[in-house]
Amino acid sequence: MTLIKSISGIRGTIGGPAGDTLNPLDIVKFTSAYATFIRRSGKCNSNKIVVGRDARISGAMVKNVVCGTLMGMGYDVINIGLATTPTTELAVRMTGAEGGIIITASHNPRHWNALKLLNNEGEFLTKDDGNEVLSIAEKEDFDYADVDHMGQYTDDDTFDQRHIDAVLALDLVDVEAIKKAKFKVIVDTVNSVGGIILPGLFKALGVEAKFLNGEANGDFAHNPEPLEKNLGGIMGEIAKGGYDLGVVVDPDVDRLAFIQEDGKMYGEEYTLVTVADYILDHVKGATVSNLSSTRALRDVTEKHGCTYYAAAVGEVNVTTKMKDVKAVIGGEGNGGVIYPESHYGRDALVGIALFLSSLAQKGLKTSELRASFPEYFIAKNRIDLTASTDVDAILVKVKELYGKEKDVQVTDIDGVKLDFPDKWVHLRKSNTEPIIRVYSEAHTMEEADELGKKLMQVVYDMQ
């Protein structure tokens, strides 16, 4: 059983002893620490905190503990119920709340759950803020409200429609073109909240949609991470013919993957690439993704005469960089689209609407649209180390070794990334176990894997 405390929140498996799992005692402790942090930061003084959750089986239990604790801390709770991560983010802004807690373990299996923490902008906490919450939790430095100052509780189920309306109102979402295209899609929402909100979005866009695993019961029909190895069911259905596109989301609907009309994966990395290309067709500006995302975004950005920037891995790092360079689009290669015109958070609804707008305006099949982008393949490997290995020292040695090469660009904002003229490799240490993650990309999978294993050998030789 596992309990992981980090700057982004608390995550763990359900059931088992206190301190080792995600259980009521630790939920109370961490929620109290977050509420204490919000009280001390005092940025808007609305006294409201939004709570939303995905459809996990443990969600009702966790929600009840979280909401009761927030009320005990003197906060008024706006419970928006079963809701996507981006819906909850938007709800914080729409209500003028001081913060929000999202109860979701994202793509983790059904026996996991988590608390993800938002500031008053509906965005994830910064590293410094997250560390402050962890410090408060460690000290158990809490002060609960007396009986006359306890918080109030309100249910509000209006935010799904408000989220859909906000997507439809975006200037570059071409509703008329999408309706005219008469798309027919099949959608896998893996038995979570996508099955609640996406029917309304597709109906508003005039898209005929068939849903697989659409009941939001939290009993995931397959591993919920939207990767090809987990999507045999929907890929097989599309391969039978009759659909323009397959759409897959994770349990909290911030990641988005597509499947072509021929039943083949569009490529999770190319969700952001496609949306960015569409945005840059209409508005020029910078783009951002993390260091482990495909180079195709850089290629597409430069094709439009614009500048690409890389950020450290992690959504808050990407959004921070986007703000710094005033990016018009950004995100992560795991299917996370961040569109500032909507909000600074990964949002599958926004991604779907912009992708369909591009497809409709260009009049292409999904496979034809995919073929219009540079072809890259990413290999993912790992180096297992002993607990005593000095990972930081190894990465410094890699940086020094390749920093002498004229045709290699070295980036060290998050581990070490080596950019060669036609490929790259990124080495970064895990925060939770003694390993180095090795991601590499090239024009063929064989070449990408070969590059990754070459660097793995370099590291082994250093030990």
Please tell me the distance from the alpha carbon of residue 216 to that of residue 214, in angstroms, as a whole number.
6
Say how far apart CA 291 and CA 453 lie, in whole Å.
Answer: 19
- Residue 55 near residue 216, CB atoms below 8 Å: yes
395/411 Cα distance (integer angstroms): 11
> How far from 328 is each of 60, 277, 316, 337, 343, CA to CA, in Å?
37, 11, 16, 11, 11
Tokens 């500006």 identify what position? 285
Q: Residues 8, 32, 106, 358: which is the catalytic one?
A: 106
The C-alpha atoms of residue 225 and residue 370 are separated, in whole angstroms, by 22
Q: Please, are residues 394 and 294 in contact by the beta-carbon 8 Å criterion?
A: no
Q: What is the DSSP letter of 346?
A: B
Q: Give dist(CA 38, CA 147) in Å, integer.
A: 20
Taking alpha carbons only, the member of 54, 34, 118 closest to residue 254 is 54
HSE, CB side, 13 Å, CA atoms: give it for residue 404: 5
Torsion of CA 186, 214, 107, 13, to 10 degrees: -160
Rounded Cα gap, residues 445 and 376, in angstroms:
8
Residue 174 neighbours by CB distance under 10 Å: 21
Strand partners, 423: 420
106 catalytic? Reply is yes
> DSSP letters along 121-146, please?
TS-BPPHHHHHHHHHHHHHT------
Q: Encoding tokens for residue 261?
A: 């009309």
State the alpha helices, DSSP H only, in 140-214: 159-168, 175-181, 194-204
Q: What is the DSSP string of 354-387?
A: HHHHHHHHHT--HHHHHHTS---EEEEEEEE--T
For the chain, how big is the Rg over CA atoms in Å?
22
DSSP string, 205-237: TT-EEEEES---SS--SS-SS--GGG-HHHHHH
What are 203's strand-pairing partners? Answer: none
Residue 412 dihedral angles phi and psi, to the nearest 5°: -125, 25
Report, as residue numbers or ranges, the catalytic residues: 106
